[in-house]
Structure 1
Amino acid sequence: MSQWQVGGSLLSSYACAGIAGLSLVSLVGLGLWRRLFKALRETNRKKDEELSALRRALNDIRSELQEKDEALAVLKEKAAAMTHRLEEERRKLDNVQRQNHLLTEKLGDQDQALGAQQEELAHLGERHAQTLQLLEARTLELKGAEAYLTKADVLSGADVVSLLNTLNSEVYQTAAMVAEAFEFRVKNGQERTRTEEEAAAMEEVYISTGEIVGPRLLGLLRTAEHHQDPTIVQVAFQAGMAAYANWIVTSWDFEDPDDERGLSKIYGTIRQQEEQAVSGRWRALTRTHIPRMAEQELAMYFIDAFVNILLAAEVTQHPSELHEAIESRFAKRISIIVKGAERLRRAIGEEVTSCDFEIAYVSHESPFDPAQMDDTFASGFDTGRDEPEPVLCTTELGLARVVKVPGKVGQWEETVLLRPKIALKSGIDEMMAAE
């Protein structure tokens, strides 16, 4: 309600009150009227105060409404701004969604392309693995073929001759040292009395010694006097070491005679039919992969031979002490000879393929041929003889170089690089007679 309506209501109230007052004056008098008027003024005052309070409240309400209108306007502006931003964000979102859709399609295309590439990569991987397998197979084939290709020799003929000369020198020096290291019984043409057990043991010694040095040199060991001149004992040592060195250098298999014969036969056939480069490589490969006997085992053959030779020569030392004495005093020199023989074996068997180096060893009882061998003692063997004197033993090994004639079956060119040295009984007899 407006302020004019409020004022009208108050005037009406006053008018009514006046009319009523007139009635009251006529009834109760002027005093009552004064009190009533006073009450009316009090009532009007209160009404005015209430009206003022209402007006203030109305003003407050109007101020509050104005503030709220202003706040509402601000909120509307903010709402409009937010609506604008929302529209912008929606447009951006639409753009992002469109881009996302495009990227999704592109990603799908890339996934398909990646799947195709992975399949192609797997196929290439299989082809690569097959290529590696083929390459490995071809590499192995080439390695196998390379083994038979012509290769330069590791050693020359002069190198091999030097190795053999060194071995022969070690054999000679060791034989002299061992022969001078022991004392021998004076025989005076008499056999030593032995028990049956000793006689049986000595019979085995004679058999073993005869197999190594030959029966005639064994006879000299048993009958000759060695206490003043051990030359025959030294020659026997040389013969034994030369025999074992020849065995080490030339053997294919030390332990199995059947394998030894089989390999020798196979190599002989290959040498006959194939060219030198092929047969040489086959020999080198085969020798490389054949198991070898330990050095200590090979050294025992030399020690046993020394013991048997000394026993056959009637050494004064007890048989039970000989083995230990030789092993303790001459093991190092025997080891040098064994290593020298093994080095020579490796040189001519594995490190040279352009030719074959053959060890020249003359077996006992072979006829002496001055064109093929040298006499250690340079005896007058041909004086008054109708036939060549048989060889007593080999004291130093010789060497020949053999090359297959290209394109020919079973034809070789042979060159003697070092002639073997042998001992003749006549030479030993002359030497001892001269002494």
Structure 2
Amino acid sequence: MSTASTTATTFLTPPTTTTYQLYRISLLAMTLALGYLAKAFRRSKYAAKQAQDDLLVLRKAIESKDSEMASLHRSVETMKEDTRDRVGVMEREVEDLQGRLRDAEGELAGVQERRRELEAALMQRDGEMGELMEDKTRLVTEHQGVLGILSDRTADLKDAQARLRGGDDRLTDQAVLVLVQALNTKIKETAALLADAFEFEEKKEEDRRSSVDSEEMVEVHERATEILGHEMVEILRTTDHHGDPALVRLAFQSGMIEYARWMSASWFFEDPEDEQLLADIYQRVRMSQDQIAAGRWRAVTHTHVQELINGEPELSDYFIDAFVNVLLTAGFRSSSAALHAIVGERFGATISALVRLALGLNKAIGTEVTACELKALSATPGVQYEPATMIDVVDGAVQHGETVLCTCELGLSRADKIDGVWTRNILLKPKVVLPSGLEELLAQGESTPTKTKPQ
């Protein structure tokens, strides 16, 4: 039964004790219920207010969080922009570093290649160094040998100096002078012999005026000029030698004089540069040493240098060339090759005797006289005539400033070094021909071994 129906029943029926009690209990229950409900209502209202307050707090908290979120969002955007800028800078830096890395790698490759080259070069240098060390060892050994030879030569030199101080030269300057005179006689005889052996055709007027020469003749004239000089060559070319070879004989004589003088002074008759080198060395020796030491050095050097020549020096060809060039320049009609063969065949023995005399003079001057310096003399064509050092073969009136046409006889000079000072004496003056005396010389009509003067 419900409470409402119970209450209504109570009002309709007279109350009884039990009923009353029940009523009171019900009323109390209702009062309690209403109190509970009022209390619950109050609680719910307070809870609602509390929830409303909590909601307000939550809203404020949400708004604060939203503000923080917006601020964070803005910070994130700013950081994104900064990051993008920094990333761009870093990307550019990375690209730059990558480029530099590539360059460095290229340089490294070049350095490595260079290192390999240097290592190869170093290995090559090591090999060369080994060879140089071997060469050094060999040179040291050779040097020791040279020192031994030098010691022996020094002892020889001291012995030679002792002998020289005692006047132990093999030849005297007077003996050498006799050799020069014998060579002059042989040259004169040979010139006459050759001049009489060739017949010249008479030169026509057009031949005298002709100035056009073949290539062979141009070369012949150049060679003749080197020995005889320009003036003598022109006289030979323009003079008619038919029936009178006197001028040809003089040209032969002059050419042989120049070659004989060169042979008498030569060290070993070969390369002119080597000849000049030895001459320069000897000049230094002469300047720094006394005559005994310098003369011995000359003698020893002459001997050993000429031992280096392979076989006999071909000196006859020089004289044959001189004869052929004189004949062709004078107008003898033949070829150079044919004349070489003729002269070599017909006059080989005579020329060989001439060479032996020249070599004998070379040995005497170079090795057998050491107490002084001897030198064969001739006058170069074209130099001014000097009576103090040469003699005119005609002994006529000499014009002022006249020059030498040619030399027809060798002379001889002697030089001595006394207290460091050189003195020079002419033992035999060379005989020369001057242009002013040429006509008189040719008019004398000197006899030759094959011809006699007309009576």
TM-score norm. by structure 1 comes to 0.63
Contact 2:236 2:330 in 1 (8 A): yes
SS of the residue corresponding to residue 404 of structure 2 reads coil
| Deviation for aligned residue 1:192 | 7.5
> Cα 1:140–1:206, aligned 2, differ >3 Å: closer, same or farther?
closer
Q: 2:248 aligns with which of 211, 226, 233?
A: 233
| Deviation for aligned residue 1:297 | 1.0
2:199 is aligned to: 183
Counterpart mapping for 1:88-127 below 5 A: none
2:401 is aligned to: 388
SS of the residue corresponding to residue 352 of structure 2 reads helix
Contact 1:373 1:421 in 2 (8 A): yes
Counterpart mapping for 1:12-411 below 5 A: 142-143=155-156, 145-151=158-164, 152-191=168-207, 199-291=214-306, 292=309, 295=312, 297-317=314-334, 319-382=336-399, 387-406=400-419, 408=420, 411=421
Distance 2:375 2:149 in 1: 39
| Matched letter for residue 404 of structure 1 | K
SS of the residue corresponding to residue 277 of structure 1 reads helix
Cα shift readout 1:303-360 (whole Å, capped 9, x = no counterpart): 1111111011011455443222211221111111100010011001101111111111
| Deviation for aligned residue 1:210 | 0.6
| Matched letter for residue 424 of structure 2 | E
Unaligned runs of 5+ in 2: 1-147, 446-455
> Cα 1:138–1:416, aligned 2, differ >3 Å: closer, same or farther?
closer
Distance 1:307 1:203 in 2: 14
Q: Which range moves more in the overlay, 293-302 or 170-179?
A: 293-302
| Deviation for aligned residue 1:232 | 1.2
SS of the residue corresponding to residue 270 of structure 2 reads coil
2:434 is aligned to: 424
Distance 1:249 1:293 in 2: 19
Cα shift readout 1:120-155 (whole Å, capped 9, x = no counterpart): xxxxxxxxxxxxxxx999867633543554431101
SS of the residue corresponding to residue 290 of structure 1 reads helix
Q: 4+ runs of 1 displaced by more than 4 Å?
A: 135-141, 147-150, 292-296, 317-320, 432-435
Distance 1:421 1:167 in 2: 14
SS of the residue corresponding to residue 297 of structure 1 reads coil
SS of the residue corresponding to residue 299 of structure 2 reads helix
| Deviation for aligned residue 1:293 | 7.2
> Cα 1:257–1:419, aligned 2, differ >3 Å: closer, same or farther?
same
- What is the number of residues matched between the two proteins? 293
| Matched letter for residue 219 of structure 2 | E
| Matched letter for residue 285 of structure 1 | V
Distance 2:218 2:162 in 1: 53
2:423 is aligned to: 413
SS of the residue corresponding to residue 408 of structure 2 reads strand
> Cα 1:286–1:149, aligned 2, differ >3 Å: closer, same or farther?
farther
> Cα 1:428–1:138, aligned 2, differ >3 Å: closer, same or farther?
closer
Distance 1:420 1:375 in 2: 9
RMSD in angstroms over aligned alpha carbons?
2.6
Cα shift readout 1:348-400 (whole Å, capped 9, x = no counterpart): 11011111111111111111112221122333223xxxx32110111111001
Contact 1:213 1:393 in 2 (8 A): yes
Distance 1:167 1:178 in 2: 16
Contact 1:405 1:413 in 2 (8 A): yes
SS of the residue corresponding to residue 401 of structure 1 reads strand
| Matched letter for residue 422 of structure 1 | V
2:8 is aligned to: none
| Deviation for aligned residue 1:402 | 1.0
Cα shift readout 1:45-93 (whole Å, capped 9, x = no counterpart): xxxxxxxxxxxxxxxxxxxxxxxxxxxxxxxxxxxxxxxxxxxxxxxxx
Distance 2:189 2:337 in 1: 25
Contact 2:173 2:369 in 1 (8 A): no
Distance 1:418 1:333 in 2: 25
> Cα 1:317–1:137, aligned 2, differ >3 Å: closer, same or farther?
closer
Distance 1:287 1:149 in 2: 20
SS of the residue corresponding to residue 400 of structure 1 reads strand
Distance 1:299 1:342 in 2: 11
Unaligned runs of 5+ in 1: 1-134
Distance 1:325 1:137 in 2: 50
SS of the residue corresponding to residue 228 of structure 1 reads coil
Contact 2:409 2:431 in 1 (8 A): yes
